[in-house]
Amino acid sequence: MTTLVTGGAGYIGAHVVRLLQQRGEDVVVVDDLSTGDASRIGGATLVELDLAACDAVDALTGVMTKHGVDAVVHFAARKQVGESVARPAWYYQQNVGGMANLLTAMENAGVDRLVFSSSAATYGQPDVELVDEKMAGHAINPYGETKVVGEWLGRAAGVAWGLRFVALRYFNVAGAGWPELGDPAVLNLVPMVLDRLERGERPKIFGDDYPTPDGTCIRDYIHVLDLAKAHLAALDYLDHDERHHDAFNVGTGTGSSVREVIDEIGRASGIDTTPDIEPRRPGDPALLVGSPVLIERTLGWKAEAGLPEIISSAWEAWQAGPRRIDD
Ligand code: UFG
């Protein structure tokens, strides 16, 4: 079995690469190394390639044929909401263009199994306690829109030429399965808090006047190793003849507030994490927690780690460094 992992040198991709290797599979990583790091992929074959480039289809088709690729896990994409608002055409070109190139190459090479990195950003700002899979399609920024369109493209390829397709909609990913595979970017709550603590500054809370029990936003934090395991479960699901669903939340069903996350970082690090309260950040929903019922029932996958394990692994990885890739 040979699996191609696009974006396999990135934070989540590298965890999936390692798990695939541990179960004895051959792995080919396609990554442009714009944010990824080649040292993260162990013994996998690395092909340095920008999926969204005009000549990517031929190159990708060649890679799949040469290595006898059976299935693809597609991570390679841009993922910053704010940047997508500033540069929408570039986000569509990168994320939708990259997906279109990938699907064309898969059809050319006769590779018919794909697990796609989708996002809770496909839900926008749902006004519910627990989001279920049927509520998608309401993205509120270009990043989320590219994920909605990516799912459409995957489905359309299923109809057109029999692609076997699963989209995994990630909630808030944090932690590290191995200290050297920690999140190298300082773009989300946990690394942003750790970064400020390292500089001797106080963490920031963007708004404490939301309609939640402690006034701060609630999210569904998922350990990156649990998330990586969901990809292997999805690959196995694509082997089944009977497949009734093509999009799954990868969440825990339990929310944690910004304040709870910051307190947990204080416990794990032993550092005083008294925060500064800042104004609300535009576009933040008060509550976004995913129902894990469908993925548990269908793929037999369930998150194992809770917030303490997520944060202690993030802290351990942060101390191991290297870090701070800001784009
Ligand atoms: N936050 C702070 N202080 C910080 C950093 C973040 O209070 O220093 C707050 C944010 O305002 C938000 C919460 O922490 O309320 C989580 O913020 P993140 O930026 O870590 O994550 P988001 O929920 O905003 O975004 C995540 C993914 C996106 C995805 C989005 C939609 O990072 O890629 O979920 O589901 F689009």
Tokens of 229: 């395991």
Provide CB contacts within 8 A for 221, sequence distance 6+.
Answer: 171, 172, 173, 174, 252, 256, 261, 307, 310
For residues 135 and 116, what is the distance between their CA atoms, to the nearest angstrom? 18
Low-confidence ranges of the chain (pLDDT < 50): 325-327
* pLDDT the model gives residue 322: 63
* pLDDT the model gives residue 117: 98
Domain ranges, ordered by start, for the chain: 2-171+223-250, 174-219+252-320
- Residue 137: strand, helix, or coil: coil
Residue (of 68, 60, 16, 64) closest to 40 by Cα position: 16
Assigned CATH topology for domain 2-171+223-250: Rossmann fold (3.40.50)
* pLDDT the model gives residue 244: 87
Measured from the CB, is residue 288 less than 6 Å from ligand 1?
yes
Measured from the CB, is residue 28 less than 6 Å from ligand 1?
no
Measured from the CB, is residue 130 less than 6 Å from ligand 1?
no
Provide CB contacts within 8 A for 262, sequence distance 6+.
Answer: 193, 203, 205, 273, 275
β-pairing, 256-257 with 218-219? antiparallel
CA 295 – ligand 1 centroid, Å: 23
* pLDDT the model gives residue 234: 98
Bridge partners of residue 30, in order along the sequence: 6, 47
Per-residue model confidence as pLDDT tens digits over 133-185: 999 889 999 999 999 999 999 999 999 999 999 999 999 999 999 999 999 99
* pLDDT the model gives residue 253: 97
Assigned CATH topology for domain 174-219+252-320: UDP-galactose 4-epimerase; domain 1 (3.90.25)
Residue (of 155, 231, 245) closest to 3 by Cα position: 231
Measured from the CB, is residue 232 less than 6 Å from ligand 1?
no
Q: Can you say whether residue 27 is alpha, beta or left, with left for phi > 0 and alpha for psi between -120 and 50 degrees? A: beta
Q: Which ligand 1 atom sits closest to the C-alpha of 206?
A: 7
Bridge partners of residue 287, in order along the sequence: 218
Strands, sheet with 113-119, edge to edge from the N-terminal-most edge strand? 45-48, 26-31, 2-6, 71-74, 113-119, 164-170, 247-250
* pLDDT the model gives residue 325: 45
Q: In degrees, to the nearest 5, what angle opens at C-alpha 32 toward C-alphas 10 and 22?
A: 40
Catalytic residue check, 11: no
Q: Which ligand 1 atom sits closest to the C-alpha of 120?
A: 35
Query: What is the 8-class DSSP label of residue 95?
Result: I
Catalytic residue of the set 11, 143, 170, 221: 143
Q: How many CB atoms lie within 10 A of CB 263?
A: 17
Provide CB contacts within 8 A for 201, sequence distance 6+.
Answer: none
CA 58 – ligand 1 centroid, Å: 37
- Ligand 1: residue of 258, 259, 263, 273 to mutate (most ligand atoms within 8 A of CB) is 258
CA-to-CA dists, residue 198 to 17, 60, 86, 189, 203, angstroms:
30, 41, 29, 14, 10
Q: In the chain, which residue ranges form alpha helices assigned H by DSSP?
A: 11-22, 56-67, 81-86, 88-91, 97-109, 142-161, 189-198, 224-238, 258-269, 293-299, 307-320
